[in-house]
Homo-oligomer: A and B are copies of this chain.
C-alpha cells in the first residue's frame, strides 16, 4: 500500500466534476460537496459517489434512503464552497432551497439535479461508496449555456467552449 501523502499526490492533478449532495434522513437536512459523482449505467439509471464517513454530514447521510445530487456549474461555486465549509449552517438561507414532496432539500438554482434512491452502500476504509438509482431528474433548458465546474490541484476551474482541445492526429485514421 502507498502512504496517504503518495495517494494525495497521485490524485491531486486528476480533474473532477463537482456536486452538492443533499438528504434529509429525518428532521435535520444535510448537504455536502462531492467531487466523486459519476454515471454508472443509463439503463437502469445508476450513479455512484463516495463520501468520507468522518464528517457529521456524512454520518447523517448514511441514514438516508434517498438523496438529491446537484451537478454544479461554475455559477454554483458558492454552493460548492458552502457544502465544503465547516461550522456553517448550510441551510441558513431559506430563500435558496425548498423541500421536494418526498422531503429531500433541493437548491433550484442549480441547473441539473437528480433525485436518487440508495441502492448499495459499500463501506470502504473510512469512507462510504454509494450506488444510487436515479428516480427523477431536472435539467434546465439553459443548462448547456453554463460553464462546467472542475476541481483540480486544490483549485476550481471552469470548462467551456474555449477549453475544448484540438484532436491529435490518429495513426491510421483516414482523412475523411
Q: In the complex the two chains form, is B39's CB within 8 Å of A71's CB?
A: no
Pick the residue among B17, B127, B155, B167 that contacts A40 (CB under 8 A). B127
Expressed in whole angstroms, the minimum distance between the Cβ of A7 and any Cβ of chain B is 4
A129 at the interface (CB under 8 A from B): yes
Q: In the complex the two chains form, is A9's CB within 8 Å of B139's CB?
A: yes
Q: In the complex the two chains form, is A119's CB within 8 Å of B124's CB?
A: yes
User: How many angstroms between the C-alpha atoms of A114 and B3 in the bound complex?
Assistant: 12
A137 at the interface (CB under 8 A from B): yes
Residues in chain A within 8 A of chain B (CB atoms): 1-4, 6-11, 13-17, 19, 35-48, 50, 52, 71, 73-74, 77-78, 81, 93, 111-112, 114, 119-120, 122, 124-127, 129, 131, 133-137, 139, 143-144, 146, 148-150, 152-153, 155-159, 163-165, 167-168, 170-171
